[in-house]
């Protein structure tokens, strides 16, 4: 399988029948299907943690277009093991968003911002949607996700929706829906301590609620007492 960041790099990986020293035994040639295009060679590496059976190759595919198609040939010495074609625009995996930060905003709100991983002249710059994950560092059951489908890599989160005094971390990943892409990797996490104080209006609402409960309890108590006295007198 192969994926492209749709900027300048593509990655292919494949599984061998048994343990293989990819760098020493194999090479992947790739060429853009265009007149006079140069043939390139990629030397694969072993993918870590899979017992030496998976090879991975990072190819330089500068400025792909929607019509770009690459011819791929995998060689073991002079023996052709397989060949295939690869169209970057149909196998996009965006780079992970960068520079995720959290700032205290007005009205007890946290403002999360990050950088779009594409330059402004790239076709995917305005095509991305994001998924933001916020989780409590000390309670794995306390987490939430937000879909950011509007233009602009920002998200506002009300501090009151998170536990006061708790430490939270956030991360974000990107997706290009119109290109049928896969999700990017998660960005590095950023952490912050959530703190907020109830506003005057919130404290007033709480006070009114408590007062109503007390008044209701007093009324019920008085009613029970009067009923009991009436039974004793009559």
Band of the pLDDT at 51, cuts 50, 70, 90?
confident
Mean pLDDT in residue range 201-208: 50
Domain 98-193 fold is Immunoglobulin-like (2.60.40)
Band of the pLDDT at 229, cuts 50, 70, 90?
low
Mean pLDDT of the chain: 87
pLDDT at 156: 94
CB 19 within 8 A of CB 3: no
Residue ranges of the domains in the chain? 2-90, 98-193, 201-234
Each residue's pLDDT tens digit, 121-164: 999 999 999 999 999 999 999 999 999 998 789 999 999 999 98
Residue 26 reports pLDDT greater than 60: yes
Task: For residue 127, give the 3-state DSSP assignment.
Answer: coil
Q: How far is CA 82 from each of CA 20, 130, 160, 209, rounded to the nearest angstrom?
A: 16, 36, 57, 73
pLDDT at 205: 56
Q: How far apart are CA 167 and CA 192, in angstroms?
A: 6
Q: How far is CA 117 from each of CA 5, 52, 100, 151, rounded to the nearest angstrom?
A: 10, 32, 11, 14
Instruction: Count CA atoms closer than 13 A to 129's CA, side-chain side.
Output: 13
Task: Give the least confident one: 114-128, 169-183, 201-215.
Answer: 201-215
Percent of the chain with pLDDT over 70: 85
2-90 shares its CATH topology with 98-193: yes
pLDDT at 211: 64
Q: How far apart are CA 214 and CA 208, in angstroms?
A: 10
Mean pLDDT in residue range 98-104: 95
pLDDT at 210: 62
Superfamily of segment(s) 2-90: Immunoglobulins (2.60.40.10)
Task: For residue 231, give the 3-state DSSP assignment.
Answer: helix
DSSP readout, 174-186? EEEGGGTPPPPPP
CA angle centred on 66, ends 63 and 71, rounded to 5°:
80
Q: How far apart are CA 3 and CA 71, in angstroms?
A: 14
């Amino acid at each position: 399988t192969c994926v492209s960041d749709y900027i300048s790099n593509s990655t292919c990986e494949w599984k061998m029948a048994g343990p293989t020293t990819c760098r020493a035994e194999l090479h992947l040639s790739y060429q853009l299907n265009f007149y006079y295009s140069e043939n390139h060679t990629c030397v694969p590496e072993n993918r870590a943690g899979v017992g030496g059976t998976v090879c991975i190759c990072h190819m330089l595919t500068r400025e792909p277009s929607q019509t770009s198609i690459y011819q791929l040939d995998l060689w073991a010495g002079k023996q052709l093991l397989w060949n295939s074609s690869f169209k970057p625009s149909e196998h996009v995996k965006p780079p992970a968003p960068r520079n995720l930060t959290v700032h205290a905003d007005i009205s007890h709100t946290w403002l999360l911002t990050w950088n779009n991983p594409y330059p402004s002249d790239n076709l995917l710059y305005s095509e991305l949607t994001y998924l933001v994950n916020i989780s409590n560092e000390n309670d794995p059951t306390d987490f939430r996700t937000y879909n950011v489908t509007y233009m602009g890599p920002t998200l506002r989160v009300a501090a009151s929706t998170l536990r006061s005094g708790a430490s939270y971390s956030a991360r974000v990943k990107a997706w290009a829906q119109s290109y049928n892409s896969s999700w990017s990797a998660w960005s590095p996490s950023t952490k912050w301590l959530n703190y907020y104080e109830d506003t005057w209006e919130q404290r007033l609402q709480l006070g009114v609620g408590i007062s109503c409960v007390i008044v209701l309890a007093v009324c019920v108590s008085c009613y029970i007492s009067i009923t009991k006295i009436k039974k004793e007198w009559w």
